[in-house]
Structure 1
Amino acid sequence: MTVPIGHSNVVVAGVDGSESAQRAVRWAAREAARREAQLRLVHAELPLPADALDMTGMARSALHDEAMGWVREAFAAAKEIAPGIDIQVRVEVNTPAWLLEQESRTAALVVVGSRGLGGFTGLLLGSIALALSCHAMCPVFVVRGGESDSDGPVVVGVNGAPENWLVLDRAFEEAEARGTALVAVHAWHPPLGTEEIAAAVGIAWPELDAAREARVEQRLASCAGRHPGVRVERHVVHGSAAHRLLEFAAGASLLVVGSRGTGGLRGMVLGSTSQAVIRHAPCPVLLVRPGLAEQMEETG
C-alpha cells in the first residue's frame, strides 16, 4: 500500500462513544495493521456554551472523564483487532471538523463512522461533511455495512473527468492491498431521443455501449499497468450512477468514489449520488478528493 506524498503512515480514527465510531475504530485498526501504520485515536471535546457557569471546573472535568472513557474503550477494541499496532491518542477541546482537518494534513487516511454521538454527530451529512470534503488533505474512509472484513471486490465509479485518475489509482491500490478483484462501473443515461436517432443512422445500442467500453478500457489501462496483479471487471451500464454503484457494492469490501465528478458521478459528495452512497452503501465507502495530489505538490 503506498502513502501519498507529504503524508505520514498514520491512520486516524474519529472516536465519540457511538457504536458506529467503535466499528470505525475496528476498521481503522485493520487498516493500520494492513498498512503497517500507526493508529491515532482522535476525540474532540465540545467547548462549553459561552453562558455556561462552571466556576469549579466540574462540568469540564465530567466531559473529559466521559471522553477518556470512550477513548479507553476504543483503545481496547483496536488492540483486540490488531495487538501489534502502535496507537496514539489525541483528546482536545475543539470542534470536530477543525480537529479532523488538521489530522488529515499528516495522515494517510481518516476513518469515521456513518453516524455518531457527541462531537461527531451528523458526520458526513452536515457541516463536518462539507468541511472534510472541501479541506481534508487525505482520503476519508466511511465505515458502513457489517462488522466482518469482507473479502469481496473493490468497486469504483469510472467517468470522464480528469480528476477521476486519482480515484481509479487509489481503487487499484486498495484492491491490490486486499488481494481482491476491482469492479469498475461506468453508468450513463442515454440522451432523450438518442435511440431513435441511432436507429435512423443505422447505429445500434450495442455499438454505443461498445464506444463507451473502449473509453473505459483506455481510462483503466494506465492504472492497470501499475498494478498488474489486480484482476479487473469492467461494466458499462445504463441508469443512475448511485443505484448502479449500490447494486455492484453488494458483497463488496469497499466502494471508492471521488468527491466530485462529471456525467454519472457529478456532485458525488454534495449531491444526490453522494447522499445515496453514504446513506445506503452496504459496505465501507472511501471518498477520494480530486486534485489532492496537485494541492500536495503546491504545499510541499
Structure 2
Amino acid sequence: MKPFRHILHVTDPSLDESTRCRAVELAIQNKASLTLMSVVEPLPRAIGLLNAISDTDGLQQAVAADRRRQLLEIASEYSCTGVPLDVVVTIGNRANEVVRQVISGKHDLLVKSAEGAGVVNRLLGSVSQSLMRIAPCPVWLLKPKLRGTFDCVVAAVDATSDDEATANLNHNILELSDSIAKRESAALHVVSAWDIWMETPLRMKMGDSIIDGMADELEASVRRRVDDLIGKTVTVGDVRKHISRGAAADKIRELVKHLETDLLVMGTQCRTGVAGFFIGNTAESVLSDVKCSVLTVKPEGFVSPIERDLERTVIRENAEPIFSIFSSQHDDEGRC
C-alpha cells in the first residue's frame, strides 16, 4: 500500500486523547507529517447576549487564538516522536473548513473521533457524515475512547460490477484493509453481497428456470471477482470471505454486528469528475447505524464541491511546521 504522507487530525483539545495517539502512531508508521486542526464555529449573533457585544469578530479571534495555544501545548507533548507537526485553527463551518484544509494542505488521510456515540446508539454525527460526503481523501472515523488494537477488520466491496471505477475502488478498499489488518495482527473479513434486481416481476415475466440460472451465474461471477481481488491484493494469512445474497446494506450491517467488528472499511459511491457528490444508498444506510470505527474511501476522480472556494480565515503564524524534527527514521518512542 502506498504510505500516507500528509495526515490531518481534526481534534478537540479537551478530548480525543486516544484518537490523537492513534493519529500519531499512523504518522510514525507511515513516516508522515501530522497536522492537528480545530475549528471554531462562528458565534451565533442572534443570541441576545451577543447582540450587546460590539466586537464579535474580535471575540471569535480570541477564542481561536486560545484554541491554537491549546493545540500548541498538545503538539509539544509529541515532539519527541520525530513526527513533523503543524497546528491549524480556523473559524467557520466545521465540515467545510476541514475539507478546505484537506485540499489546500494536500492531505491524503483525515483522522477524526466519531461524534454522536450517545445518540440512539449511533456513532456518526452530522459533521462526520458531512466529511464522508465531501472530503476528497479517505476519512478514518475512530470510535471514541478506543484502546488497544483492532482485532477484526471488515472490508466491504462491490463485486457485482466489473467496470474500471468499481474495480479500482475495490482494490483501494482491500489494500487499505489488508495493510491495517497486517499491522494490527487482526482477522480480515471480506464481504460482498449480490441480488437479482426486480426479481419477483422478472420471475413472473421470464420464469423461474431462467432467473435461477441468472442467479447462479451472478453468484459465480461475484465469487470469482472476490477470489481474484483477494489473490491480487491480500497478504495477510487470516482472511475470510463472506458472499451473501440480499441487500448489500443489510448484509454488511449483519456481518459487522455478528463479528463485533472493530473497523469497517468501505467505499462511498459518487459522481466523479464533477463538483457534486452523493453518498451511495448502501454506504448511507450502513454508516447511519454503525457502532464501530469506519474508514471510507472515495472513487478515483472525485471532486469535492468545496474545491471551488478555498478562501478562509486561518489563525497561524506561518506555513512552516511547528516541529520540523525530520530524520531518516522516525523514533518509535512517543507519548502514546
The answer, yes or no, to whether TM exceeds 0.5 is yes
Work out whether residues 154 and 261 of structure 2, in 8 Å CA contact, stay in contact via their aligned partners in 1: yes
Residue 218 of structure 1: which of 189, 210, 225 is its match? 225
Work out whether residues 41 and 88 of structure 1, in 8 Å CA contact, stay in contact via their aligned partners in 2: yes
Amino acid at match of 2:240: E
Q: Deviations over 1:18-49 (max 9, x none)?
A: 64x44433332232233221221111222345
Work out whether residues 150 and 251 of structure 1, in 8 Å CA contact, stay in contact via their aligned partners in 2: no
Work out whether residues 224 and 230 of structure 1, in 8 Å CA contact, stay in contact via their aligned partners in 2: no
- The whole-number CA distance in structure 2 between the counterparts of 1:280 and 1:233 is 24
Cα 1:57–1:108 shift into 2, 3 Å: closer
Tell me, yes or no, if structure 1 residue 47 matches structure 2 residue 53.
no
Larger radius of gyration: 2
Structure 2 unaligned blocks of 5 or more: 117-122, 271-276, 305-336
- The whole-number CA distance in structure 2 between the counterparts of 1:48 and 1:169 is 44
Cα 1:73–1:44 shift into 2, 3 Å: same
SS in 1 for 2:136: coil
Could you tell me how far 1:107 is from its partner in structure 2? 0.9
- The whole-number CA distance in structure 2 between the counterparts of 1:142 and 1:188 is 27
Q: Which residue of 2 aligns with 1:184?
A: 190
> How many residues of Structure 1 are paired with residues of Structure 2 in the alignment?
276
- The whole-number CA distance in structure 2 between the counterparts of 1:220 and 1:103 is 38
- The whole-number CA distance in structure 1 between the counterparts of 2:236 and 2:128 is 37
- The whole-number CA distance in structure 1 between the counterparts of 2:55 and 2:151 is 54
Q: How does 1:4-43 map to 2 (within 5 A)?
A: 9-17=5-13, 19=15, 21-43=16-38
Could you tell me how far 1:13 is from its partner in structure 2? 1.0
Q: Deviations over 1:199-225 (max 9, x none)?
A: 8428869x8356424334225525632
Work out whether residues 152 and 189 of structure 2, in 8 Å CA contact, stay in contact via their aligned partners in 1: no
Q: Which residue of 1 aligns with 2:142?
A: 143
Q: Which residue of 2 aligns with 1:265?
A: none
- The whole-number CA distance in structure 2 between the counterparts of 1:271 and 1:294 is 15
- The whole-number CA distance in structure 1 between the counterparts of 2:35 and 2:251 is 35
SS in 2 for 1:221: helix
Higher relative contact order (CA 8 A, sep 6+): 2
Tell me, yes or no, if structure 1 residue 90 matches structure 2 residue 85.
no
Work out whether residues 145 and 283 of structure 1, in 8 Å CA contact, stay in contact via their aligned partners in 2: no
Q: Which moved more, 1:177-186 or 1:62-71?
A: 62-71
- The whole-number CA distance in structure 1 between the counterparts of 2:144 and 2:127 is 23
Aligned-pair Cα RMSD in Å: 4.1
Amino acid at match of 1:224: G
Taking structure 2 as the reference length, what is the TM-score of the superposition? 0.64
Residue identity over aligned pairs, in percent, reads: 20
Q: How does 1:117-266 map to 2 (within 5 A)?
A: 125-126=125-126, 129-130=129-130, 133-134=133-134, 136-144=135-143, 147-148=146-147, 149-161=149-161, 162=163, 163-178=165-180, 179=182, 180-190=186-196, 191-192=199-200, 200-201=208-209, 208=215, 211-218=218-225, 221-222=228-229, 224-229=231-236, 232-249=239-256, 250-260=259-269
Q: Deviations over 1:224-278 (max 9, x none)?
A: 32545565432221333223212323343421222117xxxxxx96466434433
Cα 1:139–1:46 shift into 2, 3 Å: same
Work out whether residues 72 and 87 of structure 2, in 8 Å CA contact, stay in contact via their aligned partners in 1: no
Cα 1:151–1:204 shift into 2, 3 Å: same
